[in-house]
Chain A
């Protein structure tokens, strides 16, 4: 049966090694590369390493999959993609991986994760985020996806975002620097 086919899994592959120097490097660029002609040289100067070392280590972290994407990080909302919904599904355990991969394939999906249920308060175990220019577009994307992946009978809820209280990139500062928070 198709649902039992096990394909390559990103989450179950071993964690790539990240050492203290990598943590310092990622912390140094967490707010973004400097917008100056030699950004890697500047980061290197901050960390006491060479420009070449910064570039080589970033290339390694990309290759190892620690950095999933390196480039311009856009903010959807400000660019007209004003509507987003988190859609949560209650999926039988043996189907989660297959359906998760089917959902993740659409280009309007920006996240697709399996997460634990919290019974009795929360029965859902598969999450995806759908972006669109407005509510109707998000719902049309959802309908298309439901039909394509055969999700018609699965219990789900659509949680549109209402207000954004805070949004920024994750901060990877070292433990010593967060003690005061």
Chain B
């Protein structure tokens, strides 16, 4: 992916992580500031999305303002990890699910419309996997999300 990025791609990826135009023709506005056509912007954004470099053009919502979310973890014996991970990933409410290097080795984020549904999901995972799910909901957030400054060198 990285080797194929053009200058236009790099600017599309880095310069519009915040303050995407809220105008009726946002892609045309971007194109104007980049000195290319609207068509080029749309085609490249579509291709970058297809390639997985972009997850979307859209909103990053503050945690727990719309819906309720938590970070949860399970200590799973290594030989059971794939099976338990598949159970966890199978829930539409789970948006991140990672193996991490620790005895507590499976970490996931679950978001549901309300607390009742979130608890149901965590309880079901406990029952179906046979391992205790520890939930660590957000207490205080110290980070201001300005996007991620990509460095190409």
A contact set with B: CB distance below 8 Å: 9-12, 15-16, 18, 22-23, 26, 29-33, 35-41, 51, 55, 58-59, 61-62, 65-76, 78-81, 86, 96-97, 100-101, 103-104, 107, 109-116, 118, 121-122, 125, 127, 131, 157, 159-175, 178, 181
Contact = CB atoms under 8 A, between A and B. Distances in A.
A175 B113 CA distance: 6
Contacts, number: 274
Given A32-B56, A69-B59, A169-B58, A114 B113 contact: no
Query: Size range of the interface on B?
Result: 35 or more
| Residue with the greatest number of chain A CB neighbours at <10 A, chosen from B88, B92, B148 | B148
Nearest to A54: B22
Contact of A67 (B59, B93, B147): B59
B57 A35 contact: yes
B60 to A, nearest CB: 4
B13 A23 contact: no
Interface of A, secondary structure class, is mixed
Contact of A35 (B27, B101, B111, B142): B27
A108 B123 CA distance: 34
B55 interface: yes
A83 to B, nearest CB: 11
B89 A166 contact: yes
